[in-house]
Amino acid sequence: MFTPRELLSVFLFEIPERTAEIEDELGRIRRDLDADSSVGSQSAPRRDEDAETDTEQDDETDGDAS
């Protein structure tokens, strides 16, 4: 079991410190996503075309394997 002092230490110091680290990381992730979404909106059609091409290649490969 934890002593009252250990519990107090966790609640007063470790949890707020870790919470701040998590909030910083979330902020970085949000900025990255915002940057990607502004760039990604221009390249989205290319990704769709790539997906169709990949599917066609997979179909050909499946036919060869049979």
The pLDDT tens digits along the chain (66 residues) read 889 999 999 989 999 999 999 999 999 999 999 988 887 555 555 555 555 555 555 555 555 554
3-state helix, strand, coil in the chain (%, to 5): 95, 0, 5
Residue 8 is which amino acid?
L
Helix H, strand E, coil C: the string for 13-37 is HHHHHHHHHHHHHHHHHHHHHHHHH
Question: What's the predicted TM-score (pTM) here?
Answer: 0.47
| CA–CA distance, 30 with 37 (Å, rounded to integer) | 10
